[in-house]
């Protein structure tokens, strides 16, 4: 995937350059919304902007489509159109519903690979290299974008929206939508209706003002959360430890994924400040013990997270997975009483801000493969070997 220069992209959104429409998208971490470069809304602060090459990548990162510029309807970017022929054909098949309401849902990518005449592994590799997301993520972005549009139009029931958008069941639709958007489809429908009434009232009030009226300023938000950032030298690389003033762990990530850590913190807490400082001694001692072989030492580390109730339920279930006994996404979904919600569990797993201590690395594919990991598959393999060692001795 082509790396995007933040300074160049930010200059383009400042001038709302139409030549960049579809070339990239801007994700605003302070609002959780992603936009086109030509969005008419007020330009966000540079520190709150993250730039991606596709709408699917933005959705996979947990951002919602802007209702003003409708980024899900933007022209295909060169990052999409300029990919290999197989990827372009795959995108066409996905856009036509090739991964919707079919056996492809239970075996992601294989039905698509059969139609392309290549292996499922090769399809996943091409998508990762050219688009930065999986075929399932692209298909899900398409379904969710259509679902949002249909909900906002307000003409269909939730069951009809789920079917029209390509979800296999209303239950799966509700779970995936809530995992990505942080609210149920019905809650969004109610909020959309309320917002529409408020806009009509506001428009009526504005019509009585002169054109020279100055719009009211937004109320200042709550006090900014201040967190402490410490560095911990681990066998798998330097770890970034973020704690609060109550010695609770708020985030743990690898040093080469600092950007991801900042994005997740911003999604959970909005504006926040990181100040360098020492990590709480109890957390350091627990990490020392863990890497020395006491793989249960992290169970006592206090953690605090934002996130939706569903995400928190998944993260709590992750801490209940015994070391050395990894499980699949389906099994984890069953443990929280949501059988069939493996994909939603996977999304929540990928949004976990506290690595290792909240052990998302203990979730593997149904066939025993390691699948993805935010810190890299090599680190995931190391952690699983490390945790399995005491049980084997």
Going by C-beta distance under 8 Å and a sequence separation of 6 or more, which residues neighbour residue 383?
236, 356, 359, 361
Chain CA centroid to CA 282, Å = 30
Whether 340 contacts 172, CB under 8 Å: yes
Tokens representing residue 284 in the block: 């350091």
Task: Return the sign of the alpha-carbon dihedral for residues 25, 30, 33, 38.
Answer: negative
Place of tokens 């999409």: 80
Whether 263 contacts 272, CB under 8 Å: no
Query: Is 327 a residue of the active site?
Result: no
Whether 123 contacts 90, CB under 8 Å: yes
Distance, in Å, from the CA atom of 30 to the CA atom of 64, rounded to the nearest integer, reads 12
> Which residue of the set 9, 20, 49, 360 is catalytic?
360
Distance, in Å, from the CA atom of 279 to the CA atom of 247, rounded to the nearest integer, reads 8
Distance, in Å, from the CA atom of 362 to the CA atom of 332, rounded to the nearest integer, reads 10
Mapped onto helix, strand or coil, the DSSP state of residue 114 is: helix
**Alpha-helical runs (H) found in 154-226:** 158-165, 170-181, 185-206
C-alpha torsion 275→277→280→286, nearest 10: 100
Bridge-based pairing of strands 272-276 and 225-234 is parallel
Tokens representing residue 384 in the block: 């699983």
Classify each residue of 124-133 as buried b or exposed e, where b means 16 or more C-beta atoms within 10 Å of its C-beta. bebbeebbbb
Distance, in Å, from the CA atom of 56 to the CA atom of 184, rounded to the nearest integer, reads 20
Distance, in Å, from the CA atom of 143 to the CA atom of 94, rounded to the nearest integer, reads 10
Q: Would you please indicate which residues are annotated as catalytic (active-site) residues?
A: 360
């Amino acid at each position: 995937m082509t790396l995007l220069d933040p300074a160049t992209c930010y200059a383009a959104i400042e001038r709302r350059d139409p030549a960049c429409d579809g070339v990239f998208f801007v994700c605003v971490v302070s609002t959780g919304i992603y936009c086109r470069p030509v969005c008419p809304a007020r330009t966000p602060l540079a520190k709150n902007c993250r730039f991606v090459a596709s709408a699917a990548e933005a959705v996979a990162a947990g951002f919602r489509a802007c209702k003003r510029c409708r980024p899900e309807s933007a022209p295909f970017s060169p990052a999409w159109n300029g990919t290999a022929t197989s990827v372009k054909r795959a995108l066409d098949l996905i856009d036509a519903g090739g991964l919707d309401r079919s056996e492809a849902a239970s075996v992601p990518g294989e039905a698509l690979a059969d139609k392309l005449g290549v292996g499922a592994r090769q399809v996943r590799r091409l998508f990762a290299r050219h688009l930065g997301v999986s075929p399932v993520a692209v298909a899900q972005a398409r379904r969710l974008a259509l679902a949002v549009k249909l909900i906002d139009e307000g003409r269909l029931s939730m069951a009809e929206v789920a079917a029209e958008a390509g979800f296999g069941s209303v239950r799966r639709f509700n779970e995936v939508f809530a995992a990505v958007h942080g609210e149920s489809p019905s809650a969004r429908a109610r909020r959309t209706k309320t917002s529409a009434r408020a806009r009509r009232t506001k428009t009526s009030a504005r019509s009585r003002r002169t054109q020279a009226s100055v719009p009211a300023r937004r109320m200042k938000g709550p006090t900014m959360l201040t967190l402490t950032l410490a560095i911990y030298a681990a066998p798998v690389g330097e770890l970034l430890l973020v704690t609060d003033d109550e010695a609770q762990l708020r985030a743990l990530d690898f040093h080469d994924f600092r950007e991801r850590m900042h994005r997740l913190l911003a999604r959970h807490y909005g504006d926040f400040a990181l100040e360098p400082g020492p990590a709480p001694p109890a957390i350091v001692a627990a990490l020392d013990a863990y890497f020395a072989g006491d793989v249960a030492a992290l169970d006592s580390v206090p953690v605090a997270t934002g996130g939706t109730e569903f995400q928190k339920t998944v993260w709590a279930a992750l801490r209940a997975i015994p070391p050395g006994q990894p499980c699949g996404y389906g099994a984890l979904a069953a443990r929280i009483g949501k059988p069939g919600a493996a994909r939603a569990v996977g999304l929540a797993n990928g949004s976990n801000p506290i690595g290792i201590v909240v052990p998302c690395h203990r979730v593997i594919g149904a066939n025993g493969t390691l699948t993805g990991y935010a810190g890299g598959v090599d680190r995931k393999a190391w952690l699983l070997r490390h945790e399995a060692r005491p049980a084997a001795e």
